[in-house]
Amino acid sequence: MGFRHQALISFFVVLLVTTKADLFQNETYNANINNGCNLFQGQWVYNPNASNPLYDSSSCPFLDSYECLKHGRQDKEYLKYSWKPASCNLLGFDGADFLTRWRGKNIMFVGDSITLDQWTSLVCMLHTSVPNVKTSYVKQFPISYVKFEDYGVTINLYISHYLVDIVKEPIGRVLKLDSITQQGDVWKRMDMLIFNTWHWYTFTPPVQEWDFVQYGSTVTKDIDRLVAFYRALTTWARWVDQNIDPSKTKVVFQGISPDHYVGREWGSKSNCEGEQKPISGSKYPTGRPKASKIVDNVLRTLNKPVYLLDVTTLSQLRIDAHPSIYTEAHTFADCTHWCLPGLPDTWNKLLYAALV
């Protein structure tokens, strides 16, 4: 049944194409993104004279993960590539303007360690833009936050690996693919939500955080991971439709963040280790991952506006931008996460462009 379901998902996927006018239906937002330009179609352009990164560990007190330069990466070429959309220009990031637009508001990133990557990037970019603004920083589980006191803007991080519930029951930890309960109560209080998931759906024992999976009244020991992702994301979409008031809360879904462990996808015999340049051009050799097609399909079913921050293809091209062996542990090549400073800064530039 799982394979048949997966085949149906793949067959009926249609690419989500929409404009910001459809997604941010609020008069305070500009109705167009650069005259309708698709910000996510383009290529990486090398600038040998690129200035220093937007922030570093000495200037950002919130940066304590994925610091590639700190952990021994010698080449800095990966910091000299800029994303160039095919038919328009990407706005420069203005942290003071971002904070002014969201004065007095609560923004929350919800997801896994990929979300941590993007959240850390944004709070560092904002802090560097307004270095003299007083901040409050609380780091805990599942919610951490940085508050920019002079603006009353709080950038929250909520760790939720699957978006749906995991419940401890007599049989063990049960992943409930059709349930979002207590964490949803927290999300509803936000003015903007940026969601991400998929990474943890690929994990198997002993890393995975559940022992059984439940959908409706059916409980199983395992499930096809793409089917699980589809069902969970459908539950999340239903939660958005039932709980979000678009006049009060903006919702963003970050597209699938790819990994680079299979070098044959781009003609290498290894993984991301040692890569120093992006893939040239605008397309990844093996196309978009199956999970991104599920995202497209589910977002099409929503009645409430959700903006797809479609970073998948542009991130697939960045085989050079992972921490690789330049981590605190130095025990394996991390081809999942992204160096900071680095690629997530571009994700946040794209987020900013979608909001102005």
Active site residues: 113, 334, 337
Q: Residue 80's CB: how many other CB atoms inside 10 A?
A: 16
Single-letter amino acid, residue 86: A
Q: Which two tokens stand for residue 252?
A: 């963003």
Three-class HEC string of 298-350 = HHHCCCCCCEEECCHHHHHCCCCCCCECCCCCCCCCECCCCCCCCHHHHHHHH
Q: In what order do the strands lie in the sheet with 218-220?
A: 165-169, 172-176, 212-215, 218-220
- CA 263, CA 86: separation in Å to the nearest integer? 27
Helices (H), the chain: 2-12, 20-23, 95-101, 113-129, 182-187, 225-243, 290-300, 312-316, 343-355
Single-letter amino acid, residue 314: L
- CA 229, CA 176: separation in Å to the nearest integer? 12
